[in-house]
């Protein structure tokens, strides 16, 4: 019988087993066994045998080499990466299938090739013909781009070692498999092994590597987020497939801030950058319509104006319907309770629908006052001045509380032509922006008095 090269290890308690089992015999947890390659441990005779390679050093004596970066010239992507691709870094690009990961990376190939940077694109998902077809559609035609379709890890690493490109793209990690592990491609043990092999090459040869990872139904990349701690940067590409905008978000970045987002729009000729997302989100907004309010949320360090819509219609049943799209349902119900109790609005005989236009998902409390005003506007059937922006957190007693980065949000509102801003009194102090009237309110009643 061939000697077994792998063992199954319980991820909860570390118990080892020769076979896969549903339940761990030691800690009794279910579904915790993952196949791993058996590592031979060396017998060390004594501590004296250990070679000393690294010595402790004083922080002040460490020489710093500034990391070399390659700009992709897609400014939204460069920003999220923290100022370009770092040499020898490993980046994971995650997202739902079909969201546009391959498209984004192929477009990146084009801009890199234009700068004479050699890129190797390894695809385990599509045939050469398919990639060529997509590349033609996107206008990608670089001489420096090499395509390779393979799913075997050893063959892939051989090709990388031979070609020694500057950038490697692996699309996707779930399709590449290592011979040494018997479990199927895409399993936790496979993706971990493949990633660690790619990392060794990336660090060894100084090749910047991008790994595409599909997100599973539970919202994690290939099971329990096994890859995130191994790689340098984790980017998530998100968006609603029916809406055309896409947001690229850094979840982890060893070379930059994780506050940055990049906004793209999926067009028939690929992804296009959206340099001004607020303007994009507000296009098509109804003017002088009851139930429509503009508020501002923060996406990382960028303010983004959004339209909050509410519709109140008398209910035909004993139990009114409550619905919230793009925001937290429980929060909306709570805000409606504040309106009923503190302002005496009888909402019980109305069905209510709240929607954040554009398919965006916002759970930030800064939108509270906007939601309340939209509901009140629809309830009273009175429209609100379209040049007024409303933001602030609302507490259970109906007080309007301060929000973070108020100045940034107000500046963004002014840029988009808003003339009046209703915000918590706590935020008004020290803000002096020309061209926009900033009105501080203490509670919801005051805010409603100003807008109606
Ligand atoms: P893709 O990059 O293949 O997604 P992923 O790699 O994340 O699975 O994107 C595929 C979707 O994008 C597909 O549904 C069609 C759409 N698309 C466009 O709308 N325009 C385009 O130019 C391209 C290339 C794709
Ligand atoms: Mg793809």
Which residue from 149, 184, 187 is spatially nearest to 34, judged by alpha carbons? 187
Q: How much is the pLDDT for 238?
A: 85
Contact by Cβ (8 Å): 252, 235: no
Which of 99, 100, 107, 108 to probe ligand 1 with, by most ligand atoms within 8 A of CB? 100
**Model confidence at 129: pLDDT above 90:** yes
**Model confidence at 224: pLDDT above 70:** no
Residues whose CB is less than 8 angstroms from the CB of residue 342 and which lie 6 or more positions away in sequence, other chains included: 397, 398, 443, 444, 445
11 band by pLDDT with thresholds 50, 70 and 90: confident
Q: pLDDT (tens digit, 9 = 90+) per residue, 189-217?
A: 888 889 999 999 999 999 999 999 988 66
**Model confidence at 90: pLDDT above 90:** yes
Report, as an integer, the average pLDDT of 232-245.
83
Q: Which CA distances in Å does 314 have to 151, 345, 377?
A: 58, 13, 15
Report, as an integer, the average pLDDT of 436-451.
94
DSSP sequence for 249-317: EEEEETTS-S--EEEEEEETTEEEE-S-HHHHHHTTPPSS-TTEEEEEEEETTEEEEEEEEEEEEE-SS
* Percentage above 70 pLDDT, the chain: 93
Rounded to the nearest angstrom, the distance between the alpha carbon of 86 and the centre of ligand 2 is: 23
Contact by Cβ (8 Å): 336, 322: yes
Instruction: Give the closest residue (by CA) to ligand 1 atom 8.
Output: 98
Instruction: Give the closest residue (by CA) to ligand 1 atom 10.
Output: 98
The whole model's pTM is what?
0.80
DSSP sequence for 175-216: G-B-TT--SPTTSHHHHHHHHHHHHHHHHHHT-EEEEEEEB-
Instruction: Give the closest residue (by CA) to ligand 1 atom 18.
Output: 268
Which of 93, 137, 175, 266 to probe ligand 1 with, by most ligand atoms within 8 A of CB? 266
391 band by pLDDT with thresholds 50, 70 and 90: very high
Lowest mean pLDDT among 116-130, 251-265, 313-327: 251-265
Q: How much is the pLDDT for 222?
A: 54
**Model confidence at 1: pLDDT above 50:** no
Q: pLDDT (tens digit, 9 = 90+) per residue, 144-202?
A: 899 999 999 999 999 999 999 999 999 988 899 998 888 788 777 888 889 999 999 99
Q: Which CATH class for the 280-451 domain?
A: alpha beta
Instruction: Give the closest residue (by CA) to ligand 1 atom 1.
Output: 100
Domain positions in the chain: 2-42, 68-275, 280-451
Residues whose CB is less than 8 angstroms from the CB of residue 332 and which lie 6 or more positions away in sequence, other chains included: 322, 324, 352, 354, 371
Rounded CA-CA distance 304/153 in Å is: 42
Lowest mean pLDDT among 40-54, 122-136, 353-367, 426-440: 40-54
Q: How much is the pLDDT for 46?
A: 52
Q: pLDDT (tens digit, 9 = 90+) per residue, 12-30?
A: 777 888 888 899 888 888 8
Ligand nearest to the CA of 171: 2
List residues near ligand 1 (CB under 6 A).
95, 97-103, 134, 137-138, 266, 268-270
Rounded to the nearest angstrom, the distance between the alpha carbon of 258 and the centre of ligand 2 is: 24
**Model confidence at 37: pLDDT above 90:** no
Neighbouring C-beta atoms of residue 207, cutoff 10 Å: 23
Contact by Cβ (8 Å): 379, 290: no
Q: How much is the pLDDT for 149?
A: 95
**Model confidence at 41: pLDDT above 60:** no
CATH of 68-275, one of 3.40.50.2000, 3.40.50.300, 3.40.50.1110, 3.30.470.20: 3.40.50.300
283 band by pLDDT with thresholds 50, 70 and 90: confident
Q: How much is the pLDDT for 218?
A: 62
Q: How much is the pLDDT for 152?
A: 94
What 3-state class would DSSP assign to 120?
strand
Q: How much is the pLDDT for 47?
A: 55
Instruction: Give the closest residue (by CA) to ligand 1 atom 15.
Output: 98
């Amino acid at each position: 019988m061939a000697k077994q090269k792998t063992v199954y290890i319980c991820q909860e308690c570390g118990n080892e087993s020769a076979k896969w089992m549903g339940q761990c015999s030691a800690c009794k947890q279910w579904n915790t066994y993952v196949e791993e390659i058996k590592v031979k441990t060396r017998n060390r005779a004594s501590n004296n045998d250990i070679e000393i390679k690294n010595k402790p050093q004083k922080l002040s004596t460490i020489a710093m080499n500034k990391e070399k970066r390659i700009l992709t010239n897609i400014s939204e992507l460069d920003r999220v990466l923290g100022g370009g691709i770092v040499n020898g870094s490993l980046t994971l690009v995650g997202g739902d299938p079909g969201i546009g990961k391959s498209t984004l990376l192929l477009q990146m190939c084009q801009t890199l090739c234009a700068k004479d940077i050699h890129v190797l694109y390894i695809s385990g998902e599509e045939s050469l013909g398919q990639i060529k077809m997509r590349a033609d559609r996107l206008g990608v035609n670089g001489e420096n781009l090499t395509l390779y379709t393979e799913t075997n890890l050893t063959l892939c690493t051989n090709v990388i070692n031979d070609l020694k490109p500057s950038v490697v793209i692996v699309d996707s990690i779930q399709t590449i498999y290592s011979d040494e592990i018997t479990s199927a491609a895409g399993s936790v043990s496979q993706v971990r092994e493949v990633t660690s092999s790619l990392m060794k090459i990336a660090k060894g040869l100084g090749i910047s590597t991008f790994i595409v990872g599909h997100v599973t139904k539970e919202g994690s990349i290939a099971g329990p987020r096994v890859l995130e701690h191994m790689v340098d940067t984790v980017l998530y590409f998100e968006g609603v497939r029916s809406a055309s905008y896409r947001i690229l978000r850094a979840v982890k970045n060893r070379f930059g801030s994780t506050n940055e987002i990049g906004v793209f729009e999926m067009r028939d000729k690929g992804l296009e950058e959206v340099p001004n997302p607020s303007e994009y989100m507000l296009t098509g907004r109804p003017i002088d319509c009851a139930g429509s309010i503009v508020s501002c949320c923060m996406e990382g360090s960028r303010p983004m104006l959004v339209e909050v819509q509410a519709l109140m219609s008398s209910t035909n049943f004993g139990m009114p319907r409550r619905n919230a799209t793009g925001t937290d349902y429980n929060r909306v119900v709570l805000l409606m309770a504040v309106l009923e109790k503190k302002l005496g609005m009888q909402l019980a005989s109305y069905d209510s629908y709240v929607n954040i236009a554009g398919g965006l998902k916002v759970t930030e409390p800064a939108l509270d006052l906007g939601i309340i005003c939209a509901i009140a506007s629809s309830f009273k059937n009175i429209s609100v001045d379209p040049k007024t922006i409303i933001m602030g957190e609302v507490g259970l007693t109906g007080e309007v509380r301060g929000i973070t980065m108020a100045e940034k949000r107000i500046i963004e509102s002014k840029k988009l032509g808003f003339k009046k801003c209703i915000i918590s009194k706590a935020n008004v102090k020290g803000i002096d922006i020309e061209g926009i009237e900033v009105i501080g309110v203490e509670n919801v009643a005051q805010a409603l008095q100003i807008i109606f």
